[in-house]
Amino acid sequence: MSPTIFREAGYRFFFFSREESRIHVHVVSEDGEAKFWLEPEIELAKNYHYSRRQLKDIESLIEAHFNEIIRAWQQHFSG
């Protein structure tokens, strides 16, 4: 299961239900896929085919939706 948190600018932000417990978010689009850690700070974990510019844009979207992502993580994994 991989619940979608939000979609914006052609990107889908989501997480997998059965992955490590450290808070992170995955992002996917037609151009590639990436994973970002959210703790202790936002940091790129993996990148498949995104340019530096795209990664910067994605990180900006994560910053803008940070609280929303954290709330979705807590709600999903609290049960």
CA dihedral 17, 2, 44, 67 (to 10 degrees): -80
- Is 25:13 a contact under the CB 8 Å cutoff? yes
Q: Where is mean pLDDT largest: 1-10, 18-27, 57-66?
A: 57-66
Instruction: State the pTM of this model.
Output: 0.93
Q: d(Cα 74, Cα 79) in Å, to the nearest integer?
A: 9
Domain boundaries, the chain: 4-77
Task: Find the mean pLDDT for residues 6-18.
Answer: 93
The pLDDT tens digits for 31-78 are 999 999 999 999 999 999 999 999 999 999 999 999 999 999 999 888
Which helix H or strand E contains 66, and what residues bound it?
Answer: helix 66-77
